[in-house]
């Protein structure tokens, strides 16, 4: 691509969003994909603010094509419209005299997927009490403490609020996953990566017409089979994201090759309940994975349910001892072995109100998962 695409930018300059390129100092790469990358940067006098502000800058790589540029410009257009505490905030763009840069807020802890995986390292050293310094910093710095079930529900709730907002804006994300949620200071969740997002003001669904790399394990049945994307297909992806959160960054459908998923899902099979997951949370996942999209909950109702769960989990039970030890969950390369799945359509609903983690702890009804290190 090189400099070949700059000519079209002259038509796109938006004085409200244009940021002087000379006021931006690019730093280290935070993450990169096949066609794009995100770098940490310092912006001088951002939005009239004195001094320097740490930001993230999204850009394309030199060999990216015009379709990737279109995606970046589409993201730019979308981010101009959105303003919500749980959706990544855009500060401006450099669209003239050089490559296209999107300037967005900096998320200190990176992707939720990596944050969850890193949290497994924090837990045991705090729990074991071997490290006095860790114990004191735990009290002083909540960002470094081990994750509790209450924290995980809070993460899910924050994301559901962001998605509820996008749904109200008639925007479909199309690639909702832990890798596309960023964690900012104070463990604030920020929905990100609108590269695949599409505006659906005209219709409530977007039909994908071109072939490309698709995130099979996060996609709803109707997206996989009919290329239909709606807010309700985002709800399916949210169910998979819930599973990722509860397993502290596990890989969905561990051991199952993506090409085998098509038939498995069509026959009604879904992932089984993770060991360290309440019936209530698992029941929510299963409802997100209903075959008919209109039978899935909407994001407004999901937010309310998670809010109730947060109230129940005021007394936190530490997850450090209950992280799954199954290597299959965390090995991206494994795809041959089977993992138990459940039939979603025939799964019995809990006959009674599911007991909370705290009740389990109090009355000793506790699985071996909690004692595993």
Q: What is the CB-side half-sphere exposure of residue 234 using CA atoms within 13 A?
A: 31
pLDDT of residue 349: 40
pLDDT tens, position by position, 161-174: 999 999 999 999 98
Of the given ranges (62-76, 109-123, 243-257, 332-346), which has the lowest mean pLDDT? 332-346
pLDDT of residue 321: 38
pLDDT tens, position by position, 260-272: 898 999 999 999 9
Q: Are residues 259 and 309 in the same domain?
A: yes
20 touches 91 (CB < 8 A): no
Q: Calculate the alpha carbon distances from 270 to 164, 168, 222 in Å.
A: 24, 28, 15
Q: Are residues 25 and 166 in the same domain?
A: no
- Give yes or no for residue 6 having a pLDDT over 70: no
Across the range 71-75, mean pLDDT stands at: 86
Across the range 63-74, mean pLDDT stands at: 84
pLDDT of residue 196: 53
Mean pLDDT of the chain: 77
Is 366 a member of any domain?
no
Which residue segment(s) compose the domain that 72 sits in? 21-105
Q: Catalytic annotation on 175?
A: yes
Contacts of 74 (CB under 8 A, 6+ apart): 194, 195, 197, 198, 199
3-state secondary structure of 47: helix
Q: Are residues 159 and 307 in the same domain?
A: yes
CATH code of the domain containing 98:
3.30.200.20
**CA triple 133-314-236, angle to 5 deg:** 105
Binding residue numbers for Mg(2+): 180, 193
Q: Pick from 151, 144, 158, 147: which is nearest to 189 by CA?
A: 158
- Give yes or no for residue 345 having a pLDDT over 80: no
Q: Which long-range contacts (CB under 8 A, 24 or more apart) does 263-267 make?
A: 264/341, 265/221, 265/224, 266/221, 266/225
Of the given ranges (87-96, 147-156, 296-305, 349-358), which has the lowest mean pLDDT? 349-358
Which two tokens mark 40?
Answer: 């940490």
Q: Are residues 196 and 298 in the same domain?
A: yes
Is 129 a member of any domain?
no
Q: What is the CB-side half-sphere exposure of residue 115 using CA atoms within 13 A?
A: 28
163 touches 176 (CB < 8 A): yes
Mark which of 289, 317, 345 sits at the end of a domain: 317
366 touches 360 (CB < 8 A): yes
Cα dihedral: 183, 220, 289, 272 (round 10)? -80
How many domains in the chain?
Answer: 2
pLDDT tens, position by position, 277-322: 999 999 999 999 999 999 999 999 999 999 999 888 764 444 433 4
Q: Are residues 154 and 300 in the same domain?
A: yes
Strands, E assignment, 14-143: 24-32, 36-44, 52-60, 90-94, 101-105
Mark which of 287, 317, 347 sits at the end of a domain: 317
Binding residue numbers: 31-38, 58, 179-180, 193
Mark which of 42, 75, 105 sits at the end of a domain: 105
Q: Are residues 307 and 253 in the same domain?
A: yes
Binding residue numbers for ATP: 31-38, 58, 179
Is 247 a member of any domain?
yes
pLDDT tens, position by position, 176-188: 999 999 999 999 9
Q: Are residues 153 and 84 in the same domain?
A: no
- Give yes or no for residue 31 having a pLDDT over 90: no
Is 369 a member of any domain?
no
Q: Are residues 159 and 255 in the same domain?
A: yes
Across the range 210-239, mean pLDDT stands at: 88
Give the active site residue among 71, 175, 234, 318.
175
3-state secondary structure of 49: coil
- d(CA 93, CA 14) in angstroms, rounded, equals 9
| Phi then psi dihedrals of residue 92, to 5 deg | 170, -170
């Amino acid at each position: 691509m090189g400099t070949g695409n700059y000519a079209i930018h002259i038509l796109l300059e938006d004085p409200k969003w244009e940021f002087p390129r000379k006021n931006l100092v690019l730093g280290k790469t935070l993450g990169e994909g096949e066609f794009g990358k995100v770098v940490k940067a310092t912006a001088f006098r951002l939005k009239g603010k004195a001094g320097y502000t740490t930001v993230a800058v999204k850009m394309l790589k030199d060999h990216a094509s015009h379709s990737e540029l279109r995606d970046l410009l589409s993201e730019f257009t979308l981010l101009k419209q959105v303003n919500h505490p749980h959706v990544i905030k855009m500060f401006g763009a450099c669209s003239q005299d050089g490559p296209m840069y999107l300037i967005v807020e900096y998320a200190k802890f990176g992707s939720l997927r990596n944050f969850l995986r890193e949290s497994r390292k924090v837990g045991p050293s705090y729990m074991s009490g071997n490290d006095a310094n860790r114990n004191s910093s735990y009290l002083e710095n909540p960002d470094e403490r081990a994750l509790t079930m209450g924290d995980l529900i809070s993460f899910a709730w924050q994301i559901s609020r962001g998605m509820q907002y996008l749904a109200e804006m008639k925007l479909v994300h199309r690639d909702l996953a832990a890798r596309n949620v960023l964690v900012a200071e104070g463990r604030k969740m920020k929905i990100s990566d609108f590269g695949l997002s599409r505006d659906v003001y005209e219709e409530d669904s977007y039909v994908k017409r071109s072939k490309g790399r698709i995130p099979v394990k996060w996609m709803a049945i109707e997206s996989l089979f009919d290329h239909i994307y709606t807010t309700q297909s985002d709800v399916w992806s949210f169910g998979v994201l819930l599973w990722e959160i509860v397993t502290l960054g596990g890989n969905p459908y561990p051991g199952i090759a993506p090409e085998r998923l098509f038939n498995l899902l069509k026959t009604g099979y879904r992932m089984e309940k993770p060991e360290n997951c309440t019936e209530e949370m698992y029941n929510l996942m299963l409802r997100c994975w209903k075959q008919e999209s209109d039978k899935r909950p909407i994001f407004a109702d999901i937010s309310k349910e998670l809010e109730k769960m947060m109230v129940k989990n005021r007394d936190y039970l530490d997850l450090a001892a209950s992280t799954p030890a199954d290597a299959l969950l965390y090995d991206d390369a494994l795809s041959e072995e089977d993992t138990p799945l459940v039939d979603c359509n025939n799964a019995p609903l809990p006959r009674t109100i599911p007991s909370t983690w705290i009740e389990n702890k109090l009355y000793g009804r506790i699985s071996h998962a909690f004692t595993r290190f």
